[in-house]
Amino acid sequence: MFTYSPKVKVAVALFVGLIAFGFAPILVRLAPDTSPLVLVVYRTVFAALMLFPFWWWTRSNEKRVGKGRERLWIALSGACLGLHFTFWISSLYYTSVASASVLVAIHPIIMILVERLWFKRTFAKTTWVGVILAFGGAVLLGISDSQAEQAFANPLLGNAMAVTAAIIFVVYLLIGQKIRQKREWIDYVFPVYFYAAVACVIIALSMGKNLMDISTIGIWVGAGLAFGPQILGHGAMNLAVKSISPTLLSTLILVEPLLASVLAFFLFAELPPLLSILAMIITLMGVAFTWRRRAHSPD
């Protein structure tokens, strides 16, 4: 029998999870007639239902001080995840797969700014060069999308939704790092997915959506999003966040826009304008500079 170290298991999980992330926008595009608010409900509810049996049989009954407070953080994490899904999936109905995928992946830049302003950490000059490049690329992408010839409903709105999803994702990651130090994977992931589903149901109903107004394809897409990007993708991140910094993890997700853009080109003939491609390259170059960061807490 082969035995694998925890590091190898995390690496394999991240590889599978990152590939699963790349298919998320493609799956969404397969259900264009389904409301994004309804689709995200099916995604989150299916994910919670899929994990429930495993959580029920393997959950921890450990009693310790602070578990009540942890539940509040987990509920907040789930609400953030639900909002992240809502904004990001909605963005795909208004802008291109490439633009939405790139902009939702700028969270490493947001994470660095949070670490600098909130935790007072300092970074190398190359890191700040990356911040400026990524921000400039994001602005250029917004300008180029607004002038694109392809018919997208509202590129500027879609891009703004993707950026909002990225900001919320940072909060979700930071909470995950805090709570995962004390909880096993399933004891964190299932409650988070449960609260994410509750948040998405509340949002959809408050917006007057009929949760039964979904096609058979929409149901299958919801199930695919639940198993692939959510359980395999986000599940891998929640497995790794116990031992890998949120900033590094968020940077690894940059494979998603690259894979998603390639798939969108071959499956939907979505070829972004030349200026948009240039903006994406600049944005990704900027985030790549964050790999060179040398962060440390002040003495």
Q: Which residues contact 5 (CB under 8 A, 6 or more apart)?
A: none
Q: Residue 31: CB partners within 8 Å, gap ≥ 6?
A: 39, 215, 217, 218, 221, 222
180: left (phi over 0), alpha (psi -120 to 50) or beta: alpha
User: Encoding tokens for residue 268?
Assistant: 């939907």
CA distance 175 to 154: 32
Q: Please compute the mean of the pLDDT values over residues 79-101 and round it to a whole number.
A: 88
pLDDT at 69: 83
Residue type, 290: T
Domain ranges of the chain: 6-28+35-58+65-111+149-273
The Cα 17–Cα 234 span in angstroms is 7
User: Is a pLDDT exceeding 90 seen at residue 96?
Assistant: no
Has residue 150 got a pLDDT over 60?
no
Nearest Cα residue to 96 out of 141, 136, 60, 127: 141
Mean pLDDT of 181-208: 93
Report residue 82's pLDDT band, with 50, 70 and 90 as the boundaries: very high
Average pLDDT for residues 184-201, to the nearest whole number? 94
- Pair 224, 27: CB distance under 8 Å: yes
Mean pLDDT (whole number) for 191-203: 96
Indicate whether 214 pLDDT > 50.
yes
Mean pLDDT, all residues of the chain: 81
User: For the residues 60-84, what does the mean pLDDT come to?
Assistant: 83
For 228-241, write each residue's pLDDT tens digit.
999 998 888 888 87
